[in-house]
């Protein structure tokens, strides 16, 4: 989204409506701010899980960050994203109140002009009766692979510990769903793999803080406890019904996750790790990965949505 989108909304306001044009303009303004804060120098698990991911495109965008400005999201899409974020907050609030959602909690009041952050489960009233706690999704990362993302949650209900992913879907898909969508399942296990090997960034940063040894000792058993798998919850956008899928996993000797009932997915993730390593080498050496097989021509469907289509077909 850009200034041109705002001007279109203002033009629309001259003909119809008062409130809707105001809201739509603000949606665009907020989206522009949000897009600038998203890191583009890393790989995001949410982008790795779709068949459209291209390491060659990523390398081009690192060479020329201006290419990222070509990303287009319609106002309808942004509206759906925004509503999805609100529902995520709702789910995290309920899980937090239950006492089972583990991670990072930040107080929104900023009483002393700075954030009050708590690691662990949602603090109880005894900690601060006036606090307005909001869940900050744990940041998963891998410095070597340049992977960066945020998991929806970590749920610990003894004796089990699960990663948590939340998705919304339309009624037609919801009614016929008998298993999580494959890309959602892959995304969830990217998070589990990263969490199992590196924990999460806020925890690692907290451990470097002086004078918090007692808190670290108290929370360490929860952080070090192996994951039993992941839970993916879907909500019907029309009826607000929930449906969840539990996918079990086990930790392998190298600290990554095996998926017993889906060996293909484990293989795919490991192969993608190799692709990321090669992309980083290409970026360092000034070379390029191979073009996707789908992009045999500029007119190919994948090529049409590529941010780097023009430079890609200029170079071999």
DSSP secondary structure string, 35-75? HHHS--SSB-HHHHTSTT--HHHHHHHHH-GGGGGG----H
- Whether 17 is in a domain gets the answer yes
Tell me which residue of 179, 178, 166, 157 sits closest to 227, measured CA to CA.
157
pLDDT at 160: 95
- Whether 19 is in a domain gets the answer yes
- Find the domain containing 5 and state its range: 1-37
- Whether 3 is in a domain gets the answer yes
Tell me which residue of 281, 200, 188 sits closest to 233, measured CA to CA.
188
Rounded Cα–Cα distance for residues 157 and 102 (Å): 10
pLDDT at 158: 93
What is the total count of domains within the chain? Answer: 1
Rounded Cα–Cα distance for residues 9 and 23 (Å): 10
- Whether 46 is in a domain gets the answer no
- Whether 208 is in a domain gets the answer no
- Whether 1 is in a domain gets the answer yes
Beta carbons within 8 Å of 107's beta carbon, 6+ residues apart: 115, 116, 117, 118, 128, 131, 132, 133, 134
pLDDT at 141: 97
Q: Which residues of 242-270 are buried (b: 16+ CB within 10 A; e: fewer)?
A: eeebebebebeeeebbebeebeebbebbe
pLDDT block averages, 10 residues each, the chain of length 316: 59 68 84 80 93 93 92 84 93 97 94 86 88 95 96 96 96 94 93 93 96 95 94 95 91 68 80 96 96 92 93 86
CB atoms under 10 Å from CB of 108, counted, come to 10
- Whether 2 is in a domain gets the answer yes
Yes or no: say if 250 and 260 are a contact pair by the CB < 8 Å rule: yes
- Whether 123 is in a domain gets the answer no
- Give the tokens for residue 199: 């924990």
């Amino acid at each position: 989204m850009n200034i041109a989108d705002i001007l279109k909304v203002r033009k629309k306001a001259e003909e119809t409506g008062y409130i809707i044009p105001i809201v739509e303009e603000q949606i665009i303004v907020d989206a522009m701010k949000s897009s600038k804060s998203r890191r583009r120098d890393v790989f995001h698990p949410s982008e790795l899980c779709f068949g459209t991911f291209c390491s060659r495109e990523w390398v081009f965008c690192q060479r020329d960050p201006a290419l990222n400005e070509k990303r287009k999201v319609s106002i309808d899409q942004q509206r759906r994203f925004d509503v999805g974020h609100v529902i995520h907050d709702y789910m995290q609030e309920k899980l937090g109140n239950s006492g089972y959602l583990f991670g990072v909690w930040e107080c929104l009041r900023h009483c002393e002009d700075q954030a009050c952050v708590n690691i662990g489960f949602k603090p109880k009233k005894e900690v601060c009766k006036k606090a307005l706690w909001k869940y900050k999704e744990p940041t998963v990362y891998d410095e070597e692979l340049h992977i960066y993302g945020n998991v929806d949650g970590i749920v610990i209900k003894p004796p089990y510990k699960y990663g948590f992913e939340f998705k919304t879907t339309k009624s037609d898909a919801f009614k016929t769903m008998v298993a999580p969508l494959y890309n959602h399942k892959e995304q969830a296990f990217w998070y589990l793999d990263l969490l199992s090997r590196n924990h999460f960034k806020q925890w690692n940063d907290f451990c470097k803080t002086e004078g918090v040894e007692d808190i670290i000792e108290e929370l360490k058993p929860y952080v070090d406890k192996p994951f039993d798998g992941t839970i993916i919850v879907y909500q019907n956008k029309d009826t607000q019904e929930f449906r969840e899928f539990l996918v079990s996993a086990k930790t392998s000797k190298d600290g990554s996750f095996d998926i017993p009932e889906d060996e293909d997915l484990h293989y795919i993730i490991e192969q993608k790790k190799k692709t990321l390593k090669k992309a980083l080498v290409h970026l360092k050496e000034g070379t390029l990965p191979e073009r996707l097989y789908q992009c045999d021509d500029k007119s190919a469907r994948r090529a049409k949505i590529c941010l780097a289509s023009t430079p890609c077909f200029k170079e071999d």
